[in-house]
Amino acid sequence: MEKFGFKRIRPEDIEPNLIRLVEKEWMLVTAGTKERINTMTANWGGMGYLWNRPVVFIFIRPERYTYEFVESNESFTLTFFDESYRAALDICGTKSGRDCDKIAEANLTPLFSSEGNPAFEESEMVLECKKLYAGMLRDEEFLDPHILTAAYGLKGNLHKLYIAEIKSVWIK
Ligand SMILES: Cc1cc2nc3c(=O)[nH]c(=O)nc-3n(C[C@H](O)[C@H](O)[C@H](O)COP(=O)(O)O)c2cc1C
């Protein structure tokens, strides 16, 4: 990572407001290997402290191509970009890796950490995350039915929740 201009910081030293970061600036969820990788834009999720470790939590619909990659790898990364990459995040959030090479279309350059985790040379911050827990959201667990219908309508398609330990944080 160092050779791409990243330096390692502690998770507790992440600076930006985390709600604004996720909601407004979005992130890429990326998983896979040099041979097989996919990424998608996400802006539901967060960071915190759980089970005595720093964690992220993200939500992925099983129909996403990225779901297969997050399922079949022990780790995934969250990458954050400056505003000049908004168009790239739009592409990764509207096209599916099933149909095209969207990483190339978005002009992003994959790199791999020494742990083998995928990220992008263009990102400003990379979080390497190891999965700890995964479970489907269940409609009967929603306490406010308005949220369920507003987020999912009548046909369901709920997300899967992943909680993952933040193993490394890299910033430019
Ligand atoms: C701003 C934004 C945020 C998104 N957040 C999520 C999310 O949190 N979870 C999710 O499953 N999909 C989310 N999506 C949708 C996926 O990024 C989109 O369906 C993408 O095309 C999936 O690509 P894939 O099939 O290659 O995985 C978001 C899209 C955008 C534009």
Helix H or strand E segment including 152:
helix 145-152
Own/partner pairs, 97-103, CB within 8 angstroms, 24+ separation? 97/38, 97/39, 97/40, 97/65, 97/66, 98/65, 102/39, 103/37, 103/39
| pLDDT at residue 55, as a whole number | 98
**What contacts 162, CB < 8 A, 6 or more positions away?**
57, 58, 59, 60, 70, 76, 131, 133, 134
Number of domains in the chain: 1
Residue 155's CB: how many other CB atoms inside 10 A? 5
> Could you tell me the residue range of the domain that residue 99 belongs to?
2-171
Q: Residue for token digits 């990572």?
A: 1
**Mutation test of ligand 1: which of 21, 25, 41, 86 has the most ligand atoms closer than 8 Å to its C-beta?**
41
Q: How confident is the model at residue 119 (pLDDT cuts 50, 70, 90)?
A: very high
pLDDT tens figures, 146-155: 999 999 987 7
**Mutation test of ligand 1: which of 40, 63, 136 has the most ligand atoms closer than 8 Å to its C-beta?**
40
State the CATH number of the domain containing residue 116: 2.30.110.10
Rg (CA), the chain: 16
pLDDT tens figures, 92-118: 999 999 999 999 999 999 999 999 999
